[in-house]
Structure formats: structure tokens, C-alpha cells
Amino acid sequence: MNLFTILDMACQAFPQRTALTFEGVSYSYAQLHRASLVAARLFGNSQCQAVALQDISSPAIPIALFGAAAAGLTYVPLNYRLSAHELSELRDRIEPAYFIETENRDAFVRACLDGEVPPSPSEIPINPDAVAVKLFTSGTTGKPKAALLRHAHLLSYILGSVEFAGAGEEQAQLVAVPPYHIAGISAFLSSIYAGRRIVLLPNFDPEQWLYLAHSESITNAFVVPTMLVRIVDHLEEHPEFDVPARLASMAYGGGKMPEAVIRRAMTLFPATDFTNAYGLTETSSTICLLDPEDHRSALLSDDAEVRRRLTSVGRPLPGIELQIRDLEGNPLLTGEAGEVYVKGDQVSGEYEEKTVISGDGWFPTRDAGYVDNGGYLFLSGRADDVIVRGGENISPGEVEDVLLKHPAVSDACVVGMQSEDWGEEVAAVVVIKPWLKVSVDQLQMYVQQRLRSSRVPKQILFHEELPYNETGKLLRRVVREAFRK
């Protein structure tokens, strides 16, 4: 079992079809296949243990990913936005590694595309338990952990969720997520297995995204919430821009999607199917889906429970079992809030440092949430973010949702702050729309009228913006610092 099988099969079924377009240049499945075999020999000869890529998106990604798999080495994409110090620490942890960086990327791609294919390519290793991909988690708290994804995990995800050759030749996927994100890996595996052309946008920008969506006749796209916000803002500010006509399907994930944004997006893209994909690095990408039909029902239904599902992350994939458990690990009932646990062949739950998966295969996601009567999962934040005020659990998301409904508030983050009386108290940092005014008292009153008094933020600070990382993850750790005395 080896990830290389994905490219091998695509190359066999449609060798001359375009696999990838980057900066106007297209590459066929046969070209990528050949280049990956050349890369595998290069990696094999280097005596390295891993193949590291520290760069933006380019054709080097599939060549390095599949080349590493064919050579039996681990592929490690590094976040090029980290500081030099952080990067050098990560690089020390994966040595000896074959490094592909911005400076040598073009030479690497050229060498692989033009190189001689080994006359008898060495045997592709088949050990399903070999580590295919090592991803350093974004580390919103503490030192980055190295999540391990084995060939069996990633292949199980692809085989369970993508139909081989299921895409027509006209289909094209716009990939704007960075290569060091799990979605930046699954995008290549899924699209190649489906036979869907990949179009790369290395540095996301709403205008560029819309330009490529038009010029490359994009049919499918995946975005993180911040990208969708910027696309929607751009289209609303520039009515002269046409909405991409061929965009049949847009998936989003990687963070909490504000309800107002998905509503605006569905109005702006009436002909596009929206899918919410919830997944984690440790689960080889998507584990729950809110499908297009769910989106439409939620928008049109008179039933409050169905309408609410627009803020749900949907139901588990066929190969995933899901449970909500309390702090002691006991399963909870429908509607009860606790921590999300998942189990399935695609779930790794394993880091270089430790395994957090239980003996019977259950993985604690550290996400908090509940499941409704229809089996739809609602997330309320990270389990670690729950505020415990005098023994009462308060989910920051619950208070944030209310603050965000206030007409003057454009963004809000709720965290716990130390309190002598209560252990923890609710605190909030709020971003106000530039042309509007609101006082701390007014906001406290607003929350008081809608939630229990224990939920009212004791302290509210006004900031110009909230700290997000580049994939749109809110850095609560940084917000917490503002309340530390």
C-alpha cells in the first residue's frame, strides 16, 4: 500500500490528460508520473530519511510527494512563514532530509521532468504502516508537534471518499491552500485520483482567485473561511466583477465559518454547491461533511433545527464513527455537549512524540461540540478553550455568536481570564466596525439580555483586529495574553 499507487493508476487510465496547471503551463499525468520516478531515484541516492519542502505551491509539490512515496521516504512540508529560528529547529528534527526550497525549486522540477527514467525502477515499497507524511501542527499552543500520517491512513481516506476517475476532463480544481496544511496534501491526492485538473494559486488574493476561476474555467474549489470572507467582500465591493460561471462546487473548512459569511456566499453564488468539510491533520483531512443539499435545506426550511444546521459541520463520512464524551471519557447522549471522539481507518491520532489514540482506536480531537437529532455535529471550539467559571462550563463560541450579532461588532474572541472568586471569568476582545460606536456597558447588556448572566464578559477590550494565523485559525493564546496581569 503506497500513495504512489494514486498517481500510477491515474497515469495508466488517462496519461495524456492535464494533471496540473501552474502559471499558465500544464503538466500531464504521464509527465508527473515520470518526474516522480526520477525524483524517487534522486531521493534514494541522497541517503536521506525524509523529503522536506519549504516553499509555496508549485509543480514541485506533487513530484516531491509522490517521489518520496515511491522512494519509501517521508514527505515533510514546512511552513515557510515561520521565523528563521523556528524553521531551523524543525529542520534539525528531520535531518537527514532532502530539502526543496524556493531557491532550488525550479532546478529540481526541471531535473525531474527532463531526467532519464530509471530503466527498471526499483520496487515501490508496499508497507502500509510506513510514514508517508509528517506534518508539524500549527502550534497555536507550545512547540509544534509532528503528526504522522501513514500510507494506510491517507489511502483509506482517498479510497473511502473519492471515486477513481470520477471527474470529467473539463473539471478543474483551484487549490489555494498552502502545501504545509493537510488540505494542501489531500487536494493533490483527491484531485489526481478523481482525474480532476489542479490549478495552483500560490499566494491567495481574492482578485487573483477570481481571475483564475474565470480564466481557467474552474469547476471546483476549496477555501478556508478567511479566504471566503475576502472573496465575498471583494465581489460585494466590486459589482463589476462577474461571479465565476462554471464554479459548480465550493468546499470550505479549516476553521469556523461565520454564519453571515456562508449566507452571503450562497446568495452571491446561487449556482454553486457548497460543502462544509470538517477534519484535522491527525484524521487525514475530512471526517464530517455538510453537503450541498443540507446547505439548501438549512437556507429554505421553516424548521428551526434544520435552519440551524448551516452552522453545523455535518455528518460523519461513511468510514468514520463519532462519539461525544464527557471529561471522564463516558459517551454522552444526543444534544449533550462534550469532546468529539472519532474512529476509523483514516484516523492516525499519532505524533512522533506520543500516540493519543486509545487501544480500541478512538481519537480525542480536543474539539468540543454536540450532535443534534439528525446526527449533525455542531462545534463550539477547542475543548481546551472551554471557560470553567465557578464549576460551570462556558463555551467561548456561545458568547462570541451573540457578540457577533451586535450590529456594531465585526469580530469577537472570548477567552477565560484568571479570577480569584470564580477560578475563571469570561473576557472578550471585540473589533468594532470603523464607522460605528458601542460601549462596554452596552455590549455587556446585550449579552445579558440573551444569555445567562454567568456568560456576560467581565472585561471587554476593543482592538483593531484579532490575531489569526495564515490559515485563518484564531490565536486565542495571544488574546489570552491581553488579560494576563
Partner 1 sequence: MINIKPGAKLFSVACETEVMVIRGTGEFDLCCGGSGMATSTPEARHESATDMDGGTLIGKRYVNEDGSIELLCTKPGRGSLMVGNSVLGIKQAQALPSSD
Report CA 60 to chain centroid distance, whole Å: 21
Residues 173-192 that bind partner 1 (CB under 8 A): 173, 183, 186-187, 189-191
| Residue 165 in contact with partner 1, rule: CB under 8 A | yes
| Residue 12 in contact with partner 1, rule: CB under 8 A | yes
Q: Give me the 193-232 binding string for partner 1, x by CB under 8 A, dash otherwise.
A: xx-x-----------------------x-x----------
- Which of residues 128 and 472 has its CB atom nearest to partner 1 in the complex? 128
The distance of closest approach from Cβ of residue 462 to partner 1 in the complex, given in angstroms and rounded to an integer, is 37
Residues 291-310 that bind partner 1 (CB under 8 A): 291-292
Q: CB-side exposure of 201: number of CA atoms within 13 Å? A: 24
Binding-site member from 15, 128, 258, 364 for partner 1 (CB under 8 A): 128
- Which of residues 53 and 158 has its CB atom nearest to partner 1 in the complex? 158
Binding-site member from 11, 149, 162, 429 for partner 1 (CB under 8 A): 162
349 neighbors 356 (Cβ within 8 angstroms): yes
Cα-based distances in Å from 425 to 232, 381, 392, 418, 476: 35, 17, 11, 6, 15
| Residue 392 in contact with partner 1, rule: CB under 8 A | no
Cell of 238: 466590486
385 neighbors 426 (Cβ within 8 angstroms): no
**Strands, DSSP E only, in 214-269?**
220-223, 249-252
Binding-site member from 289, 347, 414, 474 for partner 1 (CB under 8 A): 289
**Strands, DSSP E only, in 176-234?**
197-200, 220-223
Stretches 288-296, 346-354, 388-396, 436-444: which one binds partner 1 (CB under 8 A)? 288-296
- Paired sense of beta strands 97-101 and 50-54, if any: parallel
Count interface residues toward partner 1 (CB under 8 A).
44
Cell of 119: 530503466
DSSP string, 304-359: HHHHHGGGS-BEE-TT-EEEEE-TTS-B--TT--EEEEEESTT---BBSS-B-S-T
Q: Give me the 251-280 binding string for partner 1, x by CB under 8 A, dash otherwise.
A: x-x-------------------x-x-x---
Dist. CA 98–CA 64, nearest whole Å: 10
Q: Which residues bind partner 1 (CB under 8 A)?
A: 1-2, 5, 8-9, 12-13, 126-128, 151-152, 159-165, 173, 183, 186-187, 189-191, 193-194, 196, 220, 222, 249, 251, 253, 273, 275, 277, 285-286, 289, 291-292, 317-318
